[in-house]
């Protein structure tokens, strides 16, 4: 393991804890419903400006979206690249692998996540 990858894994663990809190804080502030279509069944926390594009965890940068509305924003994952040219989807696949390694996802959840990602 290179020093770089261990730093990335620490960042990833911190980010998934932040992501859970981010969603809870947004729901407390705005209620449990999609800010785009009003669907109240299931909501996910979306960053208006993605973290890898300089976005922050401030609530002003957050938006509660149902999975369908969130999916429409995620098509960006297939288009945008990091500064080093790595496609964002590859970063996401790597993140899934790391979540499995650290017990944040089961293998079947990871398979589901990979399949969803391929469909975006």
Q: Which residues bind Zn ion (CB under 5 A)?
A: 34, 36-37, 39, 66, 69
Task: Report the nearest approach of Zn ion to the CB of residue 22 (Å).
Answer: 18
The Cα 91–Cα 66 span in angstroms is 23
**Cβ 34 to Zn ion, closest distance in Å?**
3
Asked if 67 and 58 touch (Cβ cutoff 8 Å), the reply is no
Instruction: Please identify, using beta-carbon distances, which residue of 66 and 105 lies nearer to Zn ion.
Output: 66
Measured from the CB atom, is 66 or 96 closer to Zn ion? 66
Distances (CA, A) of 45 to 13, 50, 93, 107, 117: 17, 11, 19, 23, 17
**At its nearest, how many Å lie between Zn ion and the CB of residue 29?**
17
């Amino acid at each position: 393991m290179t020093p770089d990858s261990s730093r990335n894994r620490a960042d990833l663990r911190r980010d998934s804890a932040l992501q859970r809190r981010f969603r809870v804080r947004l729901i407390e502030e705005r209620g449990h419903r999609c800010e785009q279509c009003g669907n109240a069944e299931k909501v996910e926390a979306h960053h208006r400006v993605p973290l890898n594009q300089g976005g922050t965890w401030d609530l002003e940068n957050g938006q509660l979206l149902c999975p369908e509305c969130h999916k429409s924003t995620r098509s960006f994952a297939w288009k945008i690249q990091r500064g080093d040219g790595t496609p964002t989807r590859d970063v996401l696949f790597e993140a899934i692998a790391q979540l499995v390694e650290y017990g944040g996802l089961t293998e079947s959840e990871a398979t589901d996540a990979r399949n969803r990602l391929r469909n975006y």
